[in-house]
Structure 1
Amino acid sequence: MKRRSLALAALLFIAAAGSTTQAKESSVISLDQLKQMFADMRANAGYKKWNVDGPLLWGYFFTDPDSKKLEPVAEYLSSNGYHFVAIYPTDDKSTFFLHVEKVEHHTPESLNQRNLEFYKLASQFKLESYDGMDVGPVEK
């Protein structure tokens, strides 16, 4: 699996906010956190070459201890324009991640809407969690 070489501390914090819990109010990534993440991306010199206000490659992550429960979600998202990357175990093999990607243009508000949709999707499929997102430049 190819990982982006740059990682935002803000994204790691935000992704961790939803870890290992059902999509509950207290674990939901807030709009304020997303606004801060976008501000941090704009301010960080390493991200200046990215067009934060244009299309970027967004990765989205779902978790569950049963990898088989992630497969129908992968199929559903693939049929809705997302690129399936992988289903893979954590190091201790206690849970599995589903990773999908899509090139999208987001604002904090639109990313907040996408996250809310994915929390609901995780709940509908009875997954452990929608775990958050990461972002990188669109490769040519």
Structure 2
Amino acid sequence: MSDSKPRQPKTITLEMLQKMFVNIFEKTDWNMTGEMLWGYFFTHHEPEALVKAKDLLVAQGYRFVDIYQLDEADDHGNRPWWLHVEKEETHTPATLDARNDELYQFAYDQGLDCYDGMDIGPIQEAEE
């Protein structure tokens, strides 16, 4: 008997990403044709699995940001642990959709509860 869990359904669609990009173009002055700082988020009910995932993602060129637990519970009364990594990348909706597919697969392969999506911001220049 296998204890493998079902694959997480893809909740971030290409259409959603296309709308997100339009919104960014309309509401910011960010240069989306250049590198931006992309944050990626994973959840799991135990932090140890996220530590292992962090090490694998860092080996793939992601920068570790944090592993943390929120103070408040989610809709199911759980308080999952979160892994936040980031990477400076240039994306279009199509390339971000492909990256999300990779990260959904990574979460599944690592037995994590969830790949929870991404955020974006401009790359901050280091203070002199």
- Which interval holds the TM-score relative to the shorter structure? 0.7 to 0.9
3-state DSSP of counterpart to 1:98: strand
Q: Does 1:71 align with 2:43?
A: no
- Between the two proteins, the alignment pairs up a number of residues equal to 115
Structure 1 moving runs of 4+ over 4 Å: none
Q: TM-score, normalised by structure 2?
A: 0.86
- In the TM superposition, what whole-angstrom CA distance separates every residue of 1:115-137 from its partner, at most 9, and x where no partner exists? 00000000011111000000000
Unpaired segments ≥5 residues, structure 2: 1-5, 74-78
**Partner in structure 2 of residue 38 of structure 1:** 21
Aligned letter for 1:115?
Answer: N
Match 1:101 to one of 86, 89, 95: 86
Q: TM-score, normalised by structure 1?
A: 0.78
Give distance in 1, aligned partners of 2:33 and 2:19.
14
Q: Which has the larger radius of gyration?
A: 2
3-state DSSP of counterpart to 1:126: coil
What pairs with 1:105-124 in structure 2 (closer than 5 Å)? Answer: 105-124=90-109
**Partner in structure 2 of residue 6 of structure 1:** none
Match 1:133 to one of 111, 118, 124: 118
**Partner in structure 1 of residue 71 of structure 2:** 91
Are the equivalent residues in 2 in contact too, given 1:22–1:127 (CA < 8 A)? Answer: no
- In the TM superposition, what whole-angstrom CA distance separates every residue of 1:10-57 from its partner, at most 9, and x where no partner exists? xxxxxxxxxxx96214xx20000000000000011xx11x10121000
Give distance in 2, aligned partners of 1:53 and 1:43.
14
Q: Aligned-pair distance for 1:71?
A: 0.8
The structure with the largest helix share of the pair is: 1
Give distance in 2, aligned partners of 1:79 and 1:118.
14
Q: Does 1:53 align with 2:33?
A: yes
- In the TM superposition, what whole-angstrom CA distance separates every residue of 1:76-127 from its partner, at most 9, and x where no partner exists? 0001110000000011361110000000000000000000000000001111
Q: Indicate the RMSD between aligned Cα atoms, in angstroms.
A: 1.4
**Cα gap change, 1:39/1:112 in structure 2, threshold over 3 Å: closer, same or farther?**
same
How high is the sequence identity, in percent, across the aligned residues? Answer: 41
Aligned letter for 2:95?
Answer: S
